[in-house]
Structure 1
Amino acid sequence: MKNNISKHKLADLFVLACLFLLVCWYAYDAYSASSHISNLILIVPVTVIVLVLCIIEFIRMFAIDEVTEQDPVTTVLPVILLFIGYVLTLKWLGFDVGTFLFIALFLWLHGERRKIWVIGYSLAFATLISLFFSGMLPYPMPMLVLSTAY
């Protein structure tokens, strides 16, 4: 049993190291392209957050020696398919409606059955994130509902 845990931790460490290195490379590449603040205003905070989370997870992996139960494929596969559908339909649904539907269906798949909570949370999150990205990005976001409001 101990051998399986070691292989599992090794695989997790590999993924964590890849994520850490890819984020560092992306931040360096973005800085190399343009060190202007308008180019880095979103990249630097997200980079710092991801790197801190990677370090926390690295420490947690060695501080806590527990066997966690893996999610079966039957619970992960619907979420993967939902995300693929989300990405493929953004062009037609727009970022605002697509995000709303993705969050609502994700919550429903994970067992949330209070319709007011699912609709309210999805609507609030989709609206805030859509307005944030449309204000921050230098190019127009495809929107279905908020394009006329913003």
Structure 2
Amino acid sequence: MQRISTSHLVFLVLVSACAVYLNWSAISASATLFNLIIIVPSGALVLGLAAFILLNTKDSTSADTDATSKQKQRKALLGDLLLLTVFAVFCLSLTTVGFDVATFLFVWLGVVLGGARNWIVPPIYSAVFTFALTKGFGSLFPFPMPLMVF
């Protein structure tokens, strides 16, 4: 079993709480299939994945307290906070620069922050992912999304 850091545990709890709230809100607003076709399965998937992660980890409070492990934990926490900040900027920029450009930049930065060493892979992966996501969501949703390129 792997250990889970406190910041990851807090993140899982927050994501699970948001999934529960969004599902409750959607069901209480309208219990029609058209309203729940995306939200409820996504929420159930999020809750299932969070439960799987929690069941396959153990608490990190008994972790080694030497300097190298503390430095690794601090670096991981800063990386998590940086990615969370980039996600917040992504959410705020969806309507200003468009879903496609915001997704392209967010995925590119996420791949780079994830440790990609090759300089050509992140933009190619980001472009392919953004194109597939934009076309997929465009065919699923009956309303137009703000786009800049596609």
State TM-score, norm by structure 2: 0.71
Change (3 A) 1:47 1:81: closer
- Give the equivalent residue in structure 1 for 2:55: 59
Matched AA of 2:22: Y
**Are positions 1:86 and 2:86 aligned together?**
no
Q: In 1, Cα distance between the equivalents of 2:17 and 2:106?
A: 29
Runs of 5+ unmatched residues, structure 1: none
Alignment RMSD (CA, Å): 3.3
Distance 1:118 1:8, change over 3 A: closer
Identity %: 29
**What residue in structure 2 maps to residue 38 of structure 1?**
34
The amino acid that maps onto 1:40 is: L
Given that 2:6 and 2:60 are in contact with CA atoms closer than 8 Å, whether structure 1 keeps it comes out as: no
Q: Scaled by the length of structure 1, what TM-score is found?
A: 0.71
Report which stretch shifted further, 45-54 or 74-83: 74-83
Q: Deviations over 1:43-102 (max 9, x none)?
A: 121122112112212312349998485252543343333333323332232111111112
Distance 1:137 1:70, change over 3 A: farther
User: Which residue does the alignment assign to 1:107?
Assistant: 111
Per-residue deviation at 1:8? 4.3
Which one has a larger percent helix, Structure 1 or Structure 2? Answer: 1
Q: Report the equivalent of 1:123.
A: 127
Distance 2:11 2:109 in 1: 27
Q: Which has the larger radius of gyration?
A: 1
Aligned-partner SS, 2:91: helix
Which whole-Å CA distance do the structure 2 matches of 1:103 and 1:77 have between them?
A: 16
Q: CA deviation at 1:121?
A: 0.6
Higher relative contact order (CA 8 A, sep 6+): 2
Q: Given the alignment of the two structures, is residue 137 of structure 1 paired with residue 133 of structure 2, yes or no?
A: no
Cα separation, 2, equivalents of 1:74 and 1:56: 25
Number of residue-to-residue matches in the alignment: 139
